[in-house]
Amino acid sequence: MKHIVVIGTGGTIASRWQGAGYAAEAAGHEVLAAGAVPEGVEVTVRDLFTVNSSRLTSAHQMELLRTVHEVLADPAVDGVVVTHGTDTMEESAFLLDLHHDDRRPVVLTGAQLPLDSVDGDAPGNLYDALLTAATGRDIGVVIAFGGFVHAARGTVKAHTLDVQAFADPSGRPLGRVKFGEIAWGAPRPRAAALPLPDPGAQAPRVDVVMHHVDADPVLFEAALGAGAQGIVLVGTGAGNATPDFVAAVRRAVDAGVLVAVSTRVAAGPVAPMYTGGGAVDLAAAGGVLAGTLRAGQARIAVLAALMSAEGPGERAAALRRIIGTAEDRTPAVA
């Protein structure tokens, strides 16, 4: 028997109708009872918290990170499944993956349809996640959803409502679940795991600011005024903004703030192609180009860099190391 621990955190997979909308309320054993467990798998359920994932805080994510490591400290555990809301699943998955150094997998899953829906997607997703956790090895932290297994890095929620909710716009899935088995493609390279944050460490403030037509650095400066130690600037195109943003980034970096530059475009890397306020100038001002990481995961990368290094130079170097493997998007599964 394979022993899998399911950690419940809420989300749509644990949601029921509240009279004016859905909200997470079901305990982990209720979620588990909604579907079948793969043959040869025994499950222990651990309820951590029960919230819609749009309400998650960094404190929630740090608690989840510590709990996953506590569970994996038991050699009798063969894998971990985390039931999670889809809104911020990509962020939690990436954070867990950055700190994951274990052959045993951690698999996040959830649902697009609430627990009490007729023909909902919760049972199938949970079955696939348990199968992945029981049989996968050396895959890091992954998302099992809609019949596919996705690497945490680079995977985003790609549709608000469709049951095929997740994709890596710049790459391919790691595997596909077919007839109760997983067809694996080529593995992805993974960076060395970061050390766990110290117990009780407080996550610093990291904000996201988007560039658009007529945008100025007012909101960027407001984030600095609110105490942000890190900022993700979401540029247009290949990571472009304006000369005013370049000046704001330079002032922020000079003040010790860690700045990453992502893009609002769905696929492709940030690239230093343009001047006049583009990624060439933003990088010269000290912004770290975020590769293929989109806003949510770029923010997690900044957060992790801030918590794993001391001093502006060391933190920027840590962020570059975290982003370093983001460019590898070798197709894995047809």
Q: Could you list the active site residues? A: 12, 86
Report which residue type is found at 264: R
58 carries a ligand binding annotation? no
CA distance 252 to 169: 30
CA distance 103 to 141: 10
What's the burial of 266, exposed, middle or buried (CB within 10 Å: 0-12/13-18/19+)? exposed
Decide: 240 and 211 in contact? Cβ < 8 Å: yes
DSSP 150-173: EESTT-EE--SS-S--EE-TTS--
244 carries a ligand binding annotation? no
How many CA atoms does the CB half-sphere of 288 hold within 13 Å?
29
87 carries a ligand binding annotation? yes
Pairing state of beta strands 258-263 and 230-235?
parallel
What's the burial of 119, exposed, middle or buried (CB within 10 Å: 0-12/13-18/19+)? exposed
Host H or E run for residue 275? none
Residue ranges for the known binding site for substrate are 53, 86-87
